[in-house]
Amino acid sequence: MSTPPDAAGHTPVVVIVGSSIGGVRAAQALRSEGFRGRILLVGEEEALPYDKPPLSKQFLVGQWDADKVGLLTEDAAARDRIELRLGVGATRLDVAERRVWLSDGADLAYDWLIIATGASARPSPWRPGSGVHVVRTLGDSGSLREELRRPGPVVVVGGGFIGAEAAATARALGHEVTVVDPMPTPIGRVVGPEIGRYFTDLHHRHGVETRFGVGVERIEGEAGDLRVGLTDGSTVQAATVVVGIGAVPNDGWLADSGLPLDNGILCDEYCRTLDAPNVFAIGDVARWFHPRHRERLRVEHWTNAVEMAVCAAHNIAHPEDLRAHSPVEYVWSDQYDWKIQIVGRPTQGSRHELVGDLEGEKPRAAVLYTDDRGRLHGAVTVNWPKALVQCRRLMTGGAGFDEALERISALGGASGHPQEGVRETRPGTGERAGGA
């Protein structure tokens, strides 16, 4: 348990670098775990901490304002004795001296450091005069929101979660929308091409044009009059372009720190950085050892950042009772009228079964993925929260695929049997594993 000032008058200090969901939840969890020392939360942006999932949805469409997406008010921070240092980024770390330098020239000494600097949108390689946007920060989303108030077609580059959500939002605002991605189906990297085709149909049903299987070669012009040249030789006109082509971990400021960096900060199963056990890394910037998968992962999902924050806070407050971070992966996305929830690692499976219907007027279904050893490896649900909860519980308990299929089929609310035509499809290949 953390202690008040020692005999020498020293008060334990935790410095948290990064003021998004991971950093805020780490600070709050430290207090919940009984830490009684100082907590300093450092954020590069001047704005109070805010949540990012709404930036491509409710905030972008104008339903929510900046206050609605807030994570931590000044009053709440004061109540939990969280000291805010906003508008300054971390520029250097001295592990041996236990000290972080900030962009305003100040430095902070710490007993424990939590790095929660997240990731940045992968920059657009296409740089016309204006009109090209990414969606990662409140400022990004605010600028795009202003531009979407003007008429004109929108081209979204990237068919992943951010791209699909931005496309759905732009369409809801009345724009003509085209989604471009070199993959054959949207979010195919997550669900496989056989299920990915249903997401293509989802775009089409809402009037969005798709150009999958082609890439972007160039973007020319300026806002209101952009020409997007594709690798098949065609050109798409746009007033606005949204680029959602992935993210890169914000670990550049640690280049000379001595911490091991390889697509993120390398950590053990307790979220401690290698060779510096008093330095923790959480969220999108961390690449930690997953005990169940027996490999290092970097997961760019909201839930993972929250769960890592709680794990790191516990391990700082209770070093005698270390807990490993060994989650069942979970991510969600809201696209048009679909609530999409994903657990586990679907494309690591060798085949899948679809329970329910993804083609009717009110689609509700669960796709269960298995590996060659008959385990439940992952699941994707659409508009079926009860199935999602059950799948997550089954995966946590190590259930077999047949048991999971039986339980999900028995839930009701869907067709109750695997849908014909996708039985035993091998995700990632499009090949059939059986004769269905």
Strands 13-17 and 112-115: parallel
Report the alpha-carbon distance of residue 16 to residue 39 in Å, rounded.
7
Closest by CA position to 307, among listed 293, 292, 328, 334: 328
Q: Looking at 245, 279, 302, which one is the last position of a domain?
A: 245
On the question of pLDDT at 426 being above 60, the answer is no
Report the alpha-carbon distance of residue 392 to residue 264 in Å, rounded.
27
Instruction: With respect to residue 36, please indicate whether it lies within any of the assigned structural domains.
Output: yes
User: How many alpha carbons fall within 13 Å on the CB side of residue 408?
Assistant: 34
Kindly state the tokens that stand for 276: 């510096």
Same-domain check for residues 230 and 367: no
On the question of pLDDT at 435 being above 80, the answer is no
Instruction: With respect to residue 90, please indicate whether it lies within any of the assigned structural domains.
Output: yes
Q: Phi-psi bin for 217: left (phi > 0), alpha (psi -120 to 50), beta?
A: alpha
Same-domain check for residues 112 and 258: yes
pLDDT digits (tens, 9 = 90+) for 19-34: 999 999 999 999 999 9
Same-domain check for residues 19 and 110: yes
Same-domain check for residues 262 and 288: yes
Residues 6 or more apart whose Cβ sits within 8 Å of residue 49: 19, 20, 21, 23, 24, 41, 43, 70, 71, 72
Report the alpha-carbon distance of residue 280 to residue 322 in Å, rounded.
13
Closest by CA position to 245, among listed 323, 171, 155: 155
Instruction: With respect to residue 73, please indicate whether it lies within any of the assigned structural domains.
Output: yes
Instruction: With respect to residue 330, please indicate whether it lies within any of the assigned structural domains.
Output: no
143-147 long-range contacts, Cβ below 8 Å, gap at least 24?
A: 144/60, 144/240, 144/242, 145/59, 145/60, 145/61, 145/62, 147/223, 147/239, 147/240
pLDDT score for 8 = 62
Task: State the CATH number of the domain containing residue 393.
Answer: 3.30.390.30
Same-domain check for residues 370 and 354: yes
Torsion of CA 49, 53, 58, 64, to 10 degrees: -10
Same-domain check for residues 112 and 144: no
Q: Looking at 317, 345, 362, which one is the last position of a domain?
A: 317
pLDDT digits (tens, 9 = 90+) for 80-118: 999 999 999 999 999 999 999 999 999 999 999 999 999
pLDDT score for 417 = 41
On the question of pLDDT at 131 being above 90, the answer is yes
Report the alpha-carbon distance of residue 431 to residue 339 in Å, rounded.
27
Same-domain check for residues 257 and 303: yes
Distances (CA, A) of 273 to 309, 316, 354: 14, 13, 40
Report the alpha-carbon distance of residue 277 to residue 295 in Å, rounded.
19
Report the alpha-carbon distance of residue 17 to residue 91 in Å, rounded.
10
Same-domain check for residues 388 and 356: yes
Instruction: With respect to residue 114, please indicate whether it lies within any of the assigned structural domains.
Output: yes
Max CA separation in the chain (angstroms): 75
Instruction: With respect to residue 393, please indicate whether it lies within any of the assigned structural domains.
Output: yes
pLDDT score for 232 = 97
Same-domain check for residues 235 and 193: yes
Total number of domains constituting the chain: 3
Q: pTM to 2 decimals?
A: 0.90
Task: State the CATH number of the domain containing residue 297.
Answer: 3.50.50.60
Strands 177-181 and 364-370: unpaired
On the question of pLDDT at 436 being above 50, the answer is no
Range of weakest confidence among 141-155, 232-246, 335-349: 335-349
Instruction: With respect to residue 3, please indicate whether it lies within any of the assigned structural domains.
Output: no
Same-domain check for residues 151 and 225: yes
On the question of pLDDT at 338 being above 50, the answer is yes
pLDDT digits (tens, 9 = 90+) for 284-334: 999 999 998 999 999 999 999 999 999 999 999 999 999 999 999 999 999
Same-domain check for residues 361 and 386: yes
Looking at residue 215, what DSSP letter applies? -
Q: Which domain holds residue 229?
A: 123-245
Same-domain check for residues 115 and 253: yes
Instruction: With respect to residue 136, please indicate whether it lies within any of the assigned structural domains.
Output: yes
